[in-house]
Amino acid sequence: MEVYLDNSATTRVFPEVAEYMTQIMCQQYGNPSSLHRKGMEAEQVLRRAKESLAGLLKVNDKELLFTSGGTESDNLAIRGVAQAYQRRGRHLITTQIEHPAVLQTMHFLEEQGFQVTYLPVDPYGRIRLEDLQRAMRPDTILVSIMHTNNEMGALQPIAEAGALIKRMNPNTLFHVDAVQGFGKAKIYPKKMNIDLMSTSGHKIHGPKGVGFLYVNEKVRLRPILFGGGQQGNLRSGTENVPSIAGMAMAAEMLYKNYDEDVTKLMACKKAFIEGVLRMEGTQVNGLLPGYSGGEGTAPHVVSVSFRGVRSEVLLHALEERGIYVSAGSACSARKPQPSATLRAMGVEKELLESTIRFSFSVFTDRQEIDYTLKVLNEIVPMLRMYTRKR
């Protein structure tokens, strides 16, 4: 039995999406900038994708820029704003638990002479609005906050933060990294005072190597790539037509069954959390007080610490039984070091290296959850027997 519970790392592409993309690669393969009919066909595909995504977010289709994915979207948003608005101010605000695509970009800007404030989080992985309020300055040009944390699924108070920012300084722009949130939560940038929003295709059962950045039409952006002037000169390079179309189709499919899917995901999550907590020496990270089923956090991510078990070993033991999970977040699995996010949340040091992330998708069902719990109950006690003796 193959049970893929690493959907925060990436997801399986919907078969319909793969089929549609193949068709585009073989038939509407033109360059959307070409003047002939082949070019126009490709442009039509692109336009349809854009309109459909814009419709889902209730934004203007001119406000979407297609990129190579979450990392590029974050870079373009943050560096693009910093460069365009540096005369107005050189201060930015973000959080301690952002994805490296945001954090590293912020570090780069600090080298360039910008000042950055990193907001701490509470034990549930959420920023406090008071902290944000205190950090705001007249020269703050951008606030960047992630929508859904990729390691334990904490949801940030995005709408409240948006309102606060605009109340304190209408000139400050608000960027949201919604790579994990898009498709799992309904996000409407205009209603939440979001000026820029990053997304990625491969987290929503679309292809890898594609994403988009929502940019409110009032925002001026400096491009970070220079070239042929595609997409209003803001993102040069021939548009990745098949992937963009695939991403749009995947998003449509998710939004179509949205309520049903989220209800099902939450039920899976609840059952899983209950099962895990029945085991000895476990802890679910980021649960809100009084919500033992994971209510108020993302429907698809659960972070569990297993006391006395090294996460990498547990990961491989689960792998032997066909269950694929992640130690910390997949992006950081290449350089094994305790998760900064969990540390920022105040998780015990001993548990940092014993934490596994389970992340679900619309393909996940109860049978898989039950199987995973059964396997965990078998192997965790066994692995605890054989550990480094002290």
Partner 1 sequence: MFKAFLIKYAEIGIKGKNRHLFEDALVHQIKFSLKKCEGRFYVHKTQGRIFVEAESEFDFDEVVARLKQVFGIWGICPVVYAEDEGFEKLAETVVNYIDRVYPDKNKTFKVQARRARKDYPKESMEINADLGEVLLNAFPEMTVDVHEPDILLNVEIREKIYIYSEIIPGPGGMPVGTGGKAMLLLSGGIDSPVAGYMIAKRGVKIDAVYFHAPPYTSDRAKQKVVDLARIVSRYTGPIYLHVINFTDIQLYIHEKCPHEELTIIMRRYMMRIAEHLARENDCLGLITGESIGQVASQTMASLVCTNEVCELPVYRPLIGFDKQEIVEVAEKIGTFETSILPFEDCCTIFVAKHPVTKPNLKIIRRHEQNLSEKIDELVKTALETNELIIVE
Residues that are catalytic: 331
Nearer to partner 1, 100 or 123 (CB): 100
Q: Does position 135 bind partner 1 by CB under 8 A?
A: no
Q: Distance between CA atoms of 47 and 26, rounded to whole angstroms? A: 19
Nearer to partner 1, 233 or 387 (CB): 387
Q: Does position 87 bind partner 1 by CB under 8 A?
A: no
Q: Does position 226 bind partner 1 by CB under 8 A?
A: no
The mark string for 335-364 relative to partner 1 (x by CB under 8 A, - otherwise) is: xx----------------------------
CB under 8 A: which stretch of 48-56, 249-257, 297-305, 311-319 binds partner 1? Answer: 311-319
DSSP 8-state symbol, 366: H
CB of 284 within 8 A of CB of 277?
Answer: yes
Q: Does position 373 bind partner 1 by CB under 8 A?
A: no
| Least distance (Å) between residue 316 CB and partner 1 | 3
Q: Distance between CA atoms of 3 and 367, rounded to whole angstroms? A: 10
Nearer to partner 1, 14 or 358 (CB): 358
Of 74, 216, 219, 215, the closest CA to residue 141 belongs to 219
Q: Does position 378 bind partner 1 by CB under 8 A?
A: no
Q: What is the dihedral of CA 196, 197, 201, 205, to 10 degrees?
A: -160
Q: Position 296: which residue type?
A: G
Of 291, 209, 229, 205, the closest CA to residue 11 belongs to 205
Q: Does position 2 bind partner 1 by CB under 8 A?
A: no
Nearer to partner 1, 1 or 277 (CB): 1
For partner 1, which residue of 9, 245, 304, 317 counts as binding (CB under 8 A)? Answer: 317
CB of 362 within 8 A of CB of 254?
Answer: yes
Q: Does position 319 bind partner 1 by CB under 8 A?
A: yes
DSSP H helical ranges for the chain: 15-26, 37-57, 70-85, 100-111, 129-135, 158-168, 241-256, 258-278, 311-320, 340-344, 349-352, 366-385
> Tokens 């900038």 label which residue?
33
Q: Does position 159 bind partner 1 by CB under 8 A?
A: no
For partner 1, which residue of 61, 131, 274, 312 counts as binding (CB under 8 A)? Answer: 312
Q: What are phi and psi of 335, to 5 degrees?
A: -120, 90
| Least distance (Å) between residue 46 CB and partner 1 | 38
How big is the site for partner 1, counted in residues (CB under 8 A)? 15
Q: Does position 390 bind partner 1 by CB under 8 A?
A: yes
> Footprint of partner 1 on this chain (CB under 8 A)?
312-317, 319-320, 335-336, 386-390
